[in-house]
Amino acid sequence: MSNEISERVELLIIGSGPAGYTAAIYAARAGLKPVLYQGIQPGGQLTITTEVENYPGYPDGIQGPEMMVHFENQAKRMGADIRYGLATKVDFSKQPYKVEIDEEYLIESNAIIICTGASAKWLGIESEQRLNGFGVSACAVCDGFFFKGKEVAIVGAGDTAAEEALYLSKLCTTVHMIVRKGEMRASKVMQERVLNTPNIKVYWNSVTDEILGENKVNGVRIHDTKNDTKMEVPISGFFVAIGHNPNSGIFKEYIDMDETGYIKTIPGTSKTSLEGVFAAGDVQDKNYRQAVTAAGSGCMAALDAERYLATLGH
């Protein structure tokens, strides 16, 4: 990391989903002159979501990318300095903390809010990428409603997959659940619920060969690896529930995380194990992962940062 400081700011926000933009709105209104770097995906995961119908205040629903433009514009109107750039390295060994942007620009601050989010794990097949947003989704709670009364498939074997399959079973006629092994990783109680739900059909020892459809999903080809047979099932929606990776790698050396890389925060706050460093949104939340909860935690982080800076006499 270069020793040359390019800039010193009062509050630095890293990431630009609902958590980052909300933190920027609150911090700017409090006169903290926040600088926000948008990261590799300005707007976060909502920019790859189509219709958002469950965020309060949008009675007719809104497209995910458009909603994030609203968030960004509101933060700018409040006076937040929003910039394009990716945090590539940090040095949190002492204050003021140093953050390298795009491997060349060094910025330092006594208070940092981390809102880098989490990225859904994907299967990595071409049809999944091509049909993402056109029937392929990584969030049943966000998008399940659009498939009410239709048949869908879900891939995954953990608690999240089981929960999402059960959620979908209340909306959809049939849920085809594709499980790679001959057993699930989900807790016993979740497995029992899935297996006792009549409209969830589990395909054991199976993988997704291909998602079928040109401009929208209309089927899935399932490969039974035990018997080496393939079958096509007509569906309208395909859900991937094989987990998320929190985008927290560059902070690992300095902040307490759980075994999967989610940043630990002190319950009821956005405070991390490091004084003056706060975390909000999906990078610290593996339970809810909703836009509205991310925004709420962004608000908490801005208020926590404001109180912290006040103790430093800022």
Residue 262 · residue 243 · CB < 8 Å: no
Active site residue 299: no
Which is the catalytic residue, given 143, 282, 285, 304? 143
Query: Which of 116, 111, 105, 96 is closest to 11 using CA atoms?
Result: 111
> What's the CA gap between 18 and 240, in Å, rounded?
22
Residue 255 three-state SS: coil
Please spell the DSSP secondary structure of 264-283, one letter per residue.
Answer: P--TTS-B-SSTTEEE-GGG
- Name the phi and psi angles at 262, rounded to 5: -75, 135
Distance from C-alpha of 232 to C-alpha of 308, rounded to nearest angstrom: 57
**Contact in structure between 211 and 217 (CB atoms under 8 Å):** yes
CA quadruple 175, 50, 218, 239: dihedral positive or negative?
A: negative
Residue 299 in contact with residue 29, Cβ under 8 Å?
A: no
Selecting among 60, 91, 102, 142, the annotated active-site residue is 142
* Active site annotation includes 60: no
Q: Measure Cα distances from 185 to 60, 163, 168, 258 in Å.
A: 38, 12, 19, 19
Residue 233: name the closest of 123, 152, 155 by CA. Answer: 152
DSSP letters spanning 46-65: GGG--EE-SSTT-TT-EEHH
End-to-end CA distance of the chain: 27
Say which of 91, 139, 159, 224 is annotated catalytic.
139
Is 249 exposed, middle or buried (CB count within 10 Å of its CB: 0-12, 13-18, 19+)?
exposed
Active site residues: 139, 142-143
